[in-house]
Each structure stands twice: as structure tokens, then as C-alpha cells.
Structure 1
């Protein structure tokens, strides 16, 4: 099956359920702490592809 990179907020009960489905289908999860990642605009851009991003909230 596929490898899935899953960013989670540690302790989040919803994440437990969200990880269970792909794992039950045989996918391998690599889990990372969403809050510990060194996010920058350059690292985030690929997640949004060509979608417009409102910079007003920054």
C-alpha cells in the first residue's frame, strides 16, 4: 500500500480516528507533530498548489 505523511496535533482525539482509517486499509503512516514543524511560506506553498492564499491573516 501507500505511505502517508500525517501531521497531527498530539493528543487530538479526532486525529486518532483520522489515522485509523488509512491504517486499517493497510497504508503505512509516518506521523509528525504539526505544532513542532518549522513552517515557512515556502514549505506551505506546495500544500495549496495554485490556490490563492489570503496573506491578511499573517
Structure 2
């Protein structure tokens, strides 16, 4: 069974095309919207949440 990844654009993306898309879940996927066909970064959901927590606390 193949599950489709649902992506959403970061709320911090800029109008000039510098965008990041994320698919959050058990495994979180991150990719550059200008290079969607290239590699993506995948991390566990807990690692993603830890990163977001650290960024919000600064």
C-alpha cells in the first residue's frame, strides 16, 4: 500500500519563491519548493517537534 504525502507550505515562506514545504506526521518530510524533484529531508515526528520547540523558545 502506497500512502500519498500531503505537503503544506511554511507560513514563513516569502513571496520571492524562497519556500519550504513540510509534511508532518510520524515521519516529517521537508523539501525546497523550487527543487521538489530533488532530495527531501526526513526526520521523526519527535525530532521535528523538538526543532520547532527550540526555534519558538528563541
Report the TM-score when normalising by structure 2.
0.25
Larger radius of gyration between Structure 1 and Structure 2: 1
Asked which structure has the greater RCO (Cα within 8 Å, sep 6+), the reply is: 1
Q: Give the structure with the larger strand fraction.
A: 2
Q: Give the structure with the larger helix fraction.
A: 1
Report the TM-score when normalising by structure 1.
0.25
